[in-house]
Structure 1
Amino acid sequence: MRKTNEEKGLLAKLAGGILDGMVGEEKVYRGYKNVYCGKYIKDGEPVSYREGESSRFFNGKENERVPGKRIEDHYDTDERKLEFFQRFGWLIDDEDAKAYSAKFKPKK
């Protein structure tokens, strides 16, 4: 797949660590157990995660904490990274990422 100069620039920013950090805000789905969902970029790799609520129980001596199940989806290839920008670029605090994402926004 041929990449445009805009896509190459976004991938270079991503590899340089300029866009590292949280993407948007963490979302909490409440119900029987809370589920925390969010996206972040670490070391130039976008990651989407879902994490269940942790639980505690008393083992007869002290309270023990059991962490909730965490599922991470890593966007490791260039095509997947560009897919991440297309879907979630509007949440990133960067004008180039927002402009790239706007091109793929569905028309009403």
Structure 2
Amino acid sequence: MSNEEIYLLEKLSAGELDGLVGEILYTSGGSSVFTRIENGIPRRWKVGPETRFFNGKENERIPGVEHLRESWETPERQLEFFQRFGWLLEDETARAYSKKYK
């Protein structure tokens, strides 16, 4: 493992890269798919469409169900995440690392 990879994994585990990765993708069925780093673990989520119904007085909204689609928990998988999605992060080291694998 190179120094660059160790540095990226340390930054990830410290929570310095936490947040939304890229943009939210909205499907034609009303679901949304997004990748987010939480507590140093990148995860891809899919949230189903919100439903609405009239209860006799007013419209009620029921939020969509969240489904975990993919999780990158091991160091090997996290390096794979950086290779595929590092260019979407606001970190120059991650972008440079990802650029090597494009």
* Aligned residue in 1 for 2:61: 65
Alpha-carbon deviation of 1:8?
Answer: 0.6
Percentage of identical aligned residues: 50
* Aligned residue in 2 for 1:6: 4
1:81-100 to structure 2, matched below 5 A, reads 81-100=78-97
Alpha-carbon deviation of 1:70?
Answer: 1.9
Q: Determine whether 1:48 maps to 2:44.
A: yes
1:68-79 to structure 2, matched below 5 A, reads 68-72=64-68, 73-79=70-76
Alpha-carbon deviation of 1:76?
Answer: 1.1
Question: RMSD between aligned alpha carbons?
Answer: 1.5
Select between 88-97 and 61-70 the one with higher mean Cα deviation.
61-70
Aligned length: 101
Q: Could you state the TM-score of these two structures normalised by the residue count of structure 2?
A: 0.87
Report the Cα distance in structure 2 between the residues aligned to 1:80 and 1:66, rounded to whole angstroms: 34
Report the Cα distance in structure 2 between the residues aligned to 1:6 and 1:28, rounded to whole angstroms: 34
Q: Could you state the TM-score of these two structures normalised by the residue count of structure 1?
A: 0.83
